[in-house]
Amino acid sequence: MTDRILPALTSEELTSLTNLAVTIPAPKIPAIHLARLVLLGYVRMAPDGPQVTGDGLIRIAESGGT
């Protein structure tokens, strides 16, 4: 297994990511946060809205959930 370095997020982006992971239906987050989270691979756009990816969940866990 190789260690990967996940791209850093601002505290506001991390909050948006965490909110997407724990809120149903998906909360409204700033469009710029959503675009960056998708670009970095932390979120994917599914037919029913944004979904946090495995890398996104790892990023949340590494941050202690905040």
> CA 41, 8, 38 angle in degrees (round to 5)?
20
**Model pLDDT, residue 64:** 80
pLDDT band at 1 (very low <50, low <70, confident <90, very high): very low
pTM metric for this prediction:
0.84
pLDDT band at 65 (very low <50, low <70, confident <90, very high): low
| pLDDT tens by residue, 11-64 | 999 999 999 999 988 899 999 999 999 999 999 999 999 999 999 999 999 888
DSSP three-state, residue 7: coil
Euclidean distance between CA atoms 63 and 49, whole angstroms: 24
